[in-house]
Structures are given as C-alpha cells and as structure tokens.
Amino acid sequence: MMQLLDCFIEAGYQITYSTPAEFSPHSENLLTKGIESVQIELNNESFDQYITDLTPDAVLFDRFMMEEQFGWRVETYCPDAIRVLDTEDLHCLRHARHQALKQDRALQPSDLFSDLAKREIAAILRCDLTVMISEHEMTVLQETFNVPSSIIHYAPFMLEPKVSSAPALTFEERTHFISIGNFRHEPNWDAVRYLKDTLWTGIRKQIPQAELHVYGAYPPKKATQLHNPKQGFHVKGWAPDAIKVMQEARVLLAPLRFGAGLKGKLVEAAQCGTPSVTTSIGAEGMYGDLQPAWIEDSPETFIQKAVDLYNNQQDWEALQKDCNKLIPQRFDKAEHQANLIKRISELEENLEEHRLKNFTGSMLRHHTMKSTKYMAQWIEAKNKLPEK
C-alpha cells in the first residue's frame, strides 16, 4: 500500500486516505507525505456526503471487502470516478489452500469455487481495474475464473534496488536463522508452529550452536510460549528495525504451507543479501529465472537444505548474487510505477467505452436477481400484515 501511495504521489495525484480501521501506534505518519487521513464509518450514510464533497477522480479499494462496503456508494455519488481494486493477494486462493491444509490433503481445482471466491471475483468484475501483485494470480483469474485481461493489471512490489548504502555482511559475519512475519496473518503463524513442531529439531540436531530468531508484530501468548532458549528457539516479537535483524542473519526460513500473493519477507531478505529456504507457495510469483532461495516442500528435504545452506559458504554466496539481481529484474520501481500510471491514464481517456465492454460487471452492479428476490419477500411480508 505504501508503494502504491508513493506511486500516485510521484505521478502528481492529491491523495486522501480514508479508513474505517482504528489507527495503530505502528501506523505510518501519512502527513509526512502530504496525505490527509480521514476516519470513515462502515454501513453509515455519512460516507455519501463525504464522497460527494470529495469528488475524487479515482478511488482505490484496499481488498475486496472495502469494495463491497463502499463501491456502490462511490458509484452512486461519484459515477465518473475510476474504481480500482487492490486485492493485496487473492483471498479465495489463500482460503482454499488453508482449507485443504486443515484437511491434510492436496488442493483440488473445485476448492477454488467457494462462496468467498464468488464475493471476491464479483468485486473484481464490478471495478474498472484490479491491481494484481502476482503473475500466478493473474493466470488464476484468467484461466480459472475467466476474468478478462482488460480489467486486471500486474503491479508487483515497486522497489528501489538497495535498502542500505552499506555493503551486505559476509557469510562469516552472519549468524543464526531468522523467521519474520506478522502473527495476525494466519500463514505466518502456521509457519512458526510448523518450524517449532516439525523442522527446528532436525536443523538444531545437525547445527547445535545455531539459533532461530522469530520476529513479528502482535505475538499472541501461544506464540511467546514457544520461546525456548535451551532449544535455540527465540521468539523475539516486534522488530523495531526489521532490516537490521535481517541483515545480520545468515539464512531466512519461510516454510509457508498456504497463502497467496507475494511474500514481503522474501523480498526483504533479498534486499539484505540474505539467502532463504522456502516452499513452492512461498516462492510463487517471486523469482522468475533467479535463485536467491532454495525451494523445498517436504519437511525432510527442507531441513537438509536449511542445514546445507547455513554451513556451505559457496552455495550461500551463489544465492546471494541472485539476491542482488531480484529487485532490478523483477520489482523495479520505475518500470512498474510507469506501467500502472499509464494504465490509469488510459482508463481516464476511455472510461465509458471501457465500461461498456465489461457487461458482466454492469450486471453485477445492477443486482437485478437479488432485488427481485427481496421485493418478493417484502411483498409477501406486507401481505401477512393485518388489515387496519
């Protein structure tokens, strides 16, 4: 989200950040970027007057739930505003993988066609453009759900090549493994439990002096209870400087068993010159032809790869070279910012024609089927009232 805000600022947009969420001590101070933050309410007609007075040229919804809540209001009171959805990741894909994992089975194609998918795909079709962070999810939308390419746009992380002017620490200067991620994000919490219950004992047995440092915001009590220095398993909680702790670690472990989108921890690791061991889900949409990480799904192989990477300087340095290539080749800020602004500008010039071609979206915004259902139920209920 911060990268999208920077993108629009640099393109000359005036931005108002409207949110129903409570402000957190960890929130960014958007005023430093010249962005006004406004508290708005869910399910409240006060938004109608607010958006009428604001009269934006474009509205970006953060995740499909916000489009469900506010999209129809924006269309009603600012019909000419371009409506853009930022999915962050494809929620229905993450949900389907989570359900399959809970049932200890492989993901089936039918798992994707859930009620959550119906809601999310409907939100995508109702919008003028949806920003997708992962190439894999672009493919899922087009091939599984038949979403036209004309209403989706690939906009991954938009990053500067370096996060620090100092040279990356060498193999010998680094110690220990690291795991990092917000504990409120279920895939991260599952990965921490998987590390503790299944993977760490096997790693520690081969490298008795190694430690795993687990960082993440909002650690619940069940997470802090996993802290066990005797086993080398250190639950550190919130990291005031995530880049610093990443730069000092030798290997990032990211054994994600479900999820979607792109993984910020893996990009940060590459920025810091820290090779990783992750899963195919962790690496999805991330690396292209580069190899800044080893990718393993079976627990036995994951353990051995983690040990080998930690101990083998030659392999570690080979992966670190590709770490340095990842941002310029895959997530170059200038390239992806220019592509997104160009796409928005094209919409501004041809919005009416663009909407005419998205007839499915028009039907979904019309709500004809639901309106007839509820009208029938209203008449039925009215007819049951006693006559006066």
Domain harbouring 40, CATH code: 3.40.50
Residue that is last in its domain, among 312, 331, 350: 331
Closest by alpha carbon to 3, among 212, 128, 155? 155
* Position 387 pLDDT exceeds 60: yes
Give the single-character DSSP code of 386. P
Cα torsion for 55, 60, 66, 68, to the nearest 10°?
80
* Position 244 pLDDT exceeds 90: yes
pLDDT at 163: 60
One domain for residues 107 and 44: yes
Consecutive H or E run containing 39: strand 36-39
Closest by alpha carbon to 113, among 105, 102, 122? 122
166 lies in a domain? Answer: no
* Position 166 pLDDT exceeds 70: no
Cα torsion for 52, 55, 58, 61, to the nearest 10°?
-30
One domain for residues 195 and 83: no
Residue that is last in its domain, among 297, 314, 331: 331
Chain segment 33-85, per-residue pLDDT in tens: 999 999 999 989 999 999 999 999 999 999 999 999 999 999 999 999 999 99
116 lies in a domain? Answer: yes
One domain for residues 68 and 143: yes
Helix axes 333-349, 2-10, angle to 10 degrees: 70
* Position 228 pLDDT exceeds 60: yes
One domain for residues 181 and 324: yes
One domain for residues 50 and 105: yes
**Average pLDDT of 110-123?**
96
pLDDT at 227: 96
Looking at residue 242, its amino acid is A
pLDDT at 165: 55
**Average pLDDT of 173-178?**
97
How many CB atoms are located within 10 Å of the residue 19 CB?
13
* Position 91 pLDDT exceeds 60: yes
One domain for residues 154 and 239: no
Q: How far is CA 77 from the centre of its chain?
A: 30
Helix axes 91-102, 115-126, angle to 10 degrees: 170
Q: How far apart are CA 59 and CA 65, in angstroms?
A: 14
Q: How far apart are CA 386 and CA 388, in angstroms?
A: 6
One domain for residues 362 and 373: yes
pLDDT at 126: 95
Q: How far apart are CA 216 and CA 184, in angstroms?
A: 9
123 lies in a domain? Answer: yes
One domain for residues 292 and 223: yes
Ranking 165-179, 256-270, 347-361 by mean pLDDT, the lowest is 165-179
Enter the tokens of residue 81: 């505003």
Average model confidence (pLDDT) across the chain: 94
With cut-offs at 50, 70 and 90, classify the pLDDT of residue 380.
confident
* Position 369 pLDDT exceeds 70: no
One domain for residues 190 and 269: yes
* Domain tally, the chain: 2
* Position 368 pLDDT exceeds 70: no
387 lies in a domain? Answer: no
Looking at residue 194, its amino acid is Y
What range does the domain containing 191 cover?
Answer: 177-331
With cut-offs at 50, 70 and 90, classify the pLDDT of residue 112.
very high
Local structure of 176: helix, strand or coil: coil
* Position 164 pLDDT exceeds 60: no
CATH of the domain at 231: 3.40.50.2000
165 lies in a domain? Answer: no
* CB-CB contact of 320 with 273 (8 Å): yes
Q: How far apart are CA 132 and CA 88, in angstroms?
A: 7
Residue that is last in its domain, among 309, 331, 353: 331
One domain for residues 137 and 35: yes
pLDDT at 374: 78
Chain segment 328-361, per-residue pLDDT in tens: 999 999 999 999 999 999 999 999 999 999 999 9
One domain for residues 154 and 265: no
Q: How far apart are CA 27 and CA 226, in angstroms?
A: 27
One domain for residues 74 and 54: yes
Residue 104's DSSP bridge partners are none
41 lies in a domain? Answer: yes
Chain segment 281-312, per-residue pLDDT in tens: 999 999 999 999 999 999 999 999 999 999 99
Q: How far apart are CA 71 and CA 58, in angstroms?
A: 12
130 lies in a domain? Answer: yes
369 lies in a domain? Answer: yes
Alpha-helical (H) ranges within the chain are 2-10, 46-54, 64-77, 91-102, 115-126, 135-143, 186-194, 200-206, 221-224, 242-248, 264-271, 280-283, 299-311, 313-330, 333-349, 351-357, 359-366, 368-383
The number of residues in the chain equals 388
